[in-house]
């Protein structure tokens, strides 16, 4: 079994600070995903520098196969010593999962990771070791499909301390929240956003500490392909459509002209939904042989806006997941369901877009595809773009 390892995170700054003292670094190398969550001492600029150095150094070293002992020795030798605490490095959690399902986790002074299996918190094996005089928790195990590892800085269990809760949220309540709000369809980023949003509510929007949630989730591959715009040469219509339809997984057709040439090839028709769920977004359509048909640039422009919110590491709003309009449907397919996304982008000029009163043209469509591709890759999706 070859797994797809998905990761995502949300990071909220301590109230009044411009920089976050937590840092998340993820590196994919040779079939293995390594994620590091580092929490620098204190807050602000100093903590940000400490956590950034820690996560970068550990992530790079671990991804290249070096031992945790070597990583800790390097951190101690590299980072400056705190004059007050006489400690040289930030706390950290490291998780590595390879495509064969072998997981290795190291935790040092961060709140313990909560692992969710089958919707319940799972007691994973932990071995306590001493490295350079420091207590390290190590875990080696085999993962299963849909396992989620939820890692967080101490801003989460401390949430609401002295504000809405006398002793803070505490670890057992965090576990309970993750169980009660479990949805096997949630992406890693959505799981992180939900937990961070709950912590933010307990702080009453004024974060008492840097608060970061990072999630790694074990998934099967899920391919989504989207065709937007006909090829510049009409002779390429059929070959491109055939290649598009031959892709595994779900398929989206975007744009009026595109849907016409695809429906003509399939010998079917497009039925437009009459419900204007969002007056700003043209309604979706239905065509036998594909999963979703939508209008073109206006709808994709909204998908691009949603994607900018999704990749914003301080965004905890998951309201777009409930949207029923065409743009929200595309966003869910691309950013929640897909692990691999294929874009089939036609370069034909749409005569309707040459009207000077309509600020829509080919360059806008190409820019939207560029931004969507970048944002998908930011979330670890594998993206392919074909221009025709």
Give residue limits of the domains in the chain: 4-219, 223-387
From CA 173, how far away is CA 55, in angstroms rounded?
A: 27
pLDDT number for residue 72? 80
Residue 353: pLDDT over 90: no
pLDDT digits (tens, 9 = 90+) for 311-323: 999 999 998 999 9
Strand partners, 225: 251, 342
**In percent, how much of the chain has pLDDT > 90?**
68
pLDDT number for residue 350? 60
pLDDT number for residue 356? 52
Class of domain 223-387: alpha beta
pLDDT number for residue 358? 46
> Mean pLDDT score of the chain, rounded to an integer?
90
pLDDT number for residue 81? 66
Give the torsion sign (CA, 177, 179, 184, 189): positive
Residue 357: pLDDT over 50: no
pLDDT number for residue 276? 62
pLDDT digits (tens, 9 = 90+) for 366-377: 999 999 999 999
Residue 29: pLDDT over 70: yes
CA atoms within 13 A on the CB side of 341: 28
SS (H, E, C) the chain: CCCEEEEEEEEECCCCCCCCCEEEEEEEECCEEEEEEEECCCCHHHHHHHHHHHHHHHHHHHHCCCCHHHHHHHHHHHCCCCCCCCCCCCEEEEEEEECCCEEEEEEECCCCCEEEECCEEECCCCEEEEECCEEEEEEEEECCCCCEEEEECCCCCCCCECCCECCCCCHHHHHHHHHHCCCCCCCHHHHHHHHHHHHHHHCCCCCCCCEEEEEEEEECCCEEEEEECCCCCHHHHHHHHHHHHCCCCEEEEECHHHHHHHHHHHCCCCEECCCCCCCCCCCCEECCCCCEEECCHHHHHHHHHHHHHHHCCCCCCCHHHHCCCHHHHHHHHHHHHCCEEEEEECCCCCHHHHCCCCCCCHHHHHHHHHHHHHHHHHCCCEEEEEEC
pLDDT number for residue 89? 65
Q: Are 123 and 192 in contact (CB under 8 A)?
A: no
pLDDT digits (tens, 9 = 90+) for 63-100: 888 887 888 878 877 777 666 666 656 889 999 999 89
Q: Are 339 and 4 in contact (CB under 8 A)?
A: yes
* Residue with more model confidence, 130 or 358: 130
Q: Are 17 and 210 in contact (CB under 8 A)?
A: yes
Residue 271: pLDDT over 80: yes
pLDDT number for residue 216? 96
Average of per-residue pLDDT across 35-42: 90
Residue showing tokens 């290249």: 64
Would you place residue 1 in the very low, low, confident or very high pLDDT band (cuts 50, 70, 90)? low
Give the torsion sign (CA, 58, 60, 186, 164): positive
CATH of 4-219, one of 3.60.40.10, 3.30.1130.10, 3.90.550.10, 3.30.70.360: 3.60.40.10
pLDDT digits (tens, 9 = 90+) for 324-348: 999 999 999 999 999 999 999 998 8
Residue 118: pLDDT over 60: yes
* Residue with more model confidence, 191 or 90: 191
Asked whether this chain's domains 4-219 and 223-387 adopt the same fold, the reply is no
* Residue with more model confidence, 353 or 178: 178
Residue 48: pLDDT over 60: yes
Q: Cβ neighbours of residue 112 under 8 Å, at least 6 residues apart?
A: 137, 171
Would you place residue 228 in the very low, low, confident or very high pLDDT band (cuts 50, 70, 90)? very high
pLDDT number for residue 83? 66
Q: Cβ neighbours of residue 290 under 8 Å, at least 6 residues apart?
A: 245, 251, 252, 253, 262
pLDDT number for residue 359? 44
């Amino acid at each position: 079994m070859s797994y797809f390892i998905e990761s995502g995170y949300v990071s909220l700054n301590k109230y009044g600070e411009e920089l976050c003292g937590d840092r998340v670094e993820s590196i994919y190398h040779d079939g293995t995903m390594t994620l590091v969550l580092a929490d620098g001492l204190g807050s602000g600029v100093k903590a940000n520098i400490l956590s950034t150095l820690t996560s970068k150094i550990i992530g790079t070293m671990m991804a290249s196969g070096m031992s945790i002992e070597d990583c800790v020795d390097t951190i101690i030798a590299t980072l400056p010593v705190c004059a007050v605490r006489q400690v040289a490095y930030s706390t950290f959690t490291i998780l590595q999962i390879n495509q064969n399902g072998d997981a290795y986790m190291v935790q040092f002074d961060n709140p313990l990771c909560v692992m969710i299996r089958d919707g319940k918190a799972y007691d994973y094996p932990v071995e306590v070791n001493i490295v350079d005089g420091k207590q390290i928790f190590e875990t080696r195990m085999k993962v299963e499909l849909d396992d989620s590892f939820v890692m967080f800085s101490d801003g989460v269990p401390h949430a609401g301390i002295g504000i809405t809760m006398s002793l803070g949220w505490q670890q057992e309540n965090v576990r309970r929240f993750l169980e009660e709000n479990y949805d096997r369809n949630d992406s890693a980023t959505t799981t992180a956003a939900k937990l961070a949003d709950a912590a933010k509510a307990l702080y009453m929007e004024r974060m008492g500490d840097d608060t970061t949630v990072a999630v790694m989730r074990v998934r099967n591959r899920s391919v989504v392909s989207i065709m937007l715009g006909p090829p510049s040469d009409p002779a390429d219509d059929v070959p491109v459509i055939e290649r598009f339809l031959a892709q595994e997984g779900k398929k989206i057709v975007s744009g009026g002209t595109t849907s016409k040439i695809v429906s003509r090839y399939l010998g079917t028709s497009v039925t437009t939904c009459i419900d204007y769920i969002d007056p700003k977004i043209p309604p979706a359509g239905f065509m036998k042989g594909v999963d979703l048909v939508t209008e073109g640039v206006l709808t994709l422009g909204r998908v691009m806006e949603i994607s900018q919110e999704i990749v914003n590491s301080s965004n905890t709003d998951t309201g777009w997941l409930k949207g029923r309009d065409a743009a929200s449907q595309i966003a869910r397919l691309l950013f929640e369901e897909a692990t691999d996304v294929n874009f089939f982008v036609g370069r034909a000029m749409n005569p309707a877009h040459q009207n000077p009163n309509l600020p829509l043209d080919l360059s806008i469509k190409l820019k939207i595809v560029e931004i969507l591709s970048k944002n998908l890759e930011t979330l670890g999706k594998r993206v392919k773009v074909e221009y025709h």
